[in-house]
Amino acid sequence: MRRHSLVEQARSAQDALRPNIVPVAAPPTALGINLFGLQTFNRQQVFSNMILQSEWFSSRGDGWTPMPSQQLDAAGWVRSLEPGQTAPRPLVLPAAPFRAMAVRCTFAGRGGLEAGGVARVLGVSAGAVDLELRPTGAEGEGAWVELISTDPADPLRELDCRKAGVPRSQRFDPEFLAFLSGFKVVRFLDWQRTNDNAPAAWATRSLPGSGSQVGVAGASVEDMVDLANAAGADPWFLMPYDADADYLRGFAVLVHARLDPGRKVYVELGNEVWNDIFDASGQAEREGLALGLGGGDPMRARMERYSQRMVAAMRIWTAIYADRPQALIRVCSTQHANPELARMVLNYGHADRWVDALATAPYLWLELDGYRKRDLDRIFTQMPGSMERTLAMAAANRAVAARHGLRYIAYEGGQHLVTTDLDLARAVQRDPRMGEVYLRYLEGWRRRFGDTLVLYAATAPIGEYGSWGLREYAGQPAAETPKLSAVRRFQAEAP
């Protein structure tokens, strides 16, 4: 057991005895959504250009491997092919209803393209290839184009594959924009590949003209800002834990200039730096201990180091937004089940002066080991208890936030039912009672807390690592999406 100072023990006791520290009337709820990564397997077409959500592979007839970086130019286009080598490139499949459709691929330079999966070539002309896609919706199906030749002196590049008749000026797929309608906040965790904790340099960031938006640097800032503007939502960005001042300043300046001035922007450092499963967590702990933070306690050293770096990032954003500070929401995020971590971060130095909100993730959680598909009634009988537990934890975190004069919000939320038994996972997620659970959960949040709740997450298949999507694929019928249907009802009935 960790030892705490007498002052900390007294503060903890005071927080526990002050459940009414927040106003009785909850503020209006702003329901947001976390977006999944852009990869094609998440079954959500985001960009009208169907190749922006994938990267080039290398093939020699015996499977695909990542394309060696030395064969790509700075924008991510294939500079040359070796003898016997081709370069497949997946296409993201469009939203349901599934039917045959014409797709036109245009490009600059000289080279040859073929197609595979549910795509076939209909015709070839100068600088263009016409395809037909015949998706069925079968799990795991795909489509791809395959670069079979390219002229090293004038390589095939600027490839753009979109539904026939869709103008080049249309950046985002209309179905995706329609899905975002009603969400007040969009969090870009997986678009930014924050959990990878990769080196971040402003000079080498992704650009709208990059050949892919799923590379190690994540999606371009311009695309994220433009999406928020198009969707009429406030963006929530996560600054890389390792970001230097140049990156932070460049990001803030671009957002300040490009985001609709009527919109707010949420800013957070890293993602779940408290969480051992992410690389940034271990890095923060090592740095904190090396700096002598935490009095030798590894977790305290980790959280105090997070506090230091968070404040450094927020100072930069605060300076950039000095002309309209009300538009900037600086977020400190900590573990929902352990309010002590929030105290560690906010009590360190003057960290609470540099943030506007404390955020946690009030998930509905049950341990599903040992359960089978036949146990659905038992599972749903336990959900009210799970809900009450997580909302009670939310009240404890709200008390910490209120002690520091901060808002209390949720960076993630929703169900957290994870099992490797996919029959059980599908049965639980597709059960109409899951919609009832979501309605009670959302109403409980609205009534008791209000403010921003950003659900995790948008669209993705059910899998052994979780069934996080409000729907399993783009265009899925409402009758098959109890979670999304409940969210739409909540949005429609919100005051």
User: What does the domain layout of the chain look like in residue ranges?
Assistant: 6-41+174-493, 48-163
- Residue 344 and residue 333: Cα distance in Å, rounded? 12
User: What is the distance, to the nearest Å, from the Cα of residue 275 to the centroid of all Cα atoms in its chain?
Assistant: 17
**303-337 pLDDT tens trace:** 999 999 999 999 999 999 999 999 999 999 999 99
Cis peptide before 153 (omega within 30 of 0): no
- Residue 42 and residue 126: Cα distance in Å, rounded? 33
- Residue 489 and residue 495: Cα distance in Å, rounded? 12
139 phi and psi angles, rounded to 5 deg? -60, 130
CA dist list (Å): 335 to 103, 195, 345, 347, 361: 46, 16, 11, 16, 7
- Listing DSSP states for 231-249 in one string gives HT-EEEEEE-TT--HHHHH
Other CB atoms within a 10 A radius of the CB of residue 124 amount to 13
- Residue 233 and residue 263: Cα distance in Å, rounded? 7
304: left (phi over 0), alpha (psi -120 to 50) or beta: alpha
Residues 6+ apart with CB under 8 A from 229: 258, 259, 260, 263
Residues 6+ apart with CB under 8 A from 277: none
Q: What pLDDT does residue 257 have?
A: 98
Contact 142, 40 (CB under 8 A): yes
Low-confidence ranges of the chain (pLDDT < 50): 1-23
- Residue 395 and residue 408: Cα distance in Å, rounded? 9
Nearest to 34 by CA among 458, 470, 491: 458
Q: How many CA atoms lie within 13 A of 297 on its CB side?
A: 13
Q: What pLDDT does residue 494 have?
A: 83
Give the SS3 label for residue 129.
Answer: strand
Q: What pLDDT does residue 21 have?
A: 41
- Residue 264 and residue 327: Cα distance in Å, rounded? 4
**23-68 pLDDT tens trace:** 458 999 999 999 999 999 999 999 999 999 999 999 999 999 999 9
Give the SS3 label for residue 438.
Answer: helix
Topology (CATH level 3) of domain 6-41+174-493: TIM Barrel (3.20.20)
- Residue 312 and residue 482: Cα distance in Å, rounded? 42
CA dist list (Å): 322 to 55, 220, 254, 300: 39, 24, 15, 32
Q: What pLDDT does residue 25 have?
A: 80
- Residue 208 and residue 456: Cα distance in Å, rounded? 26
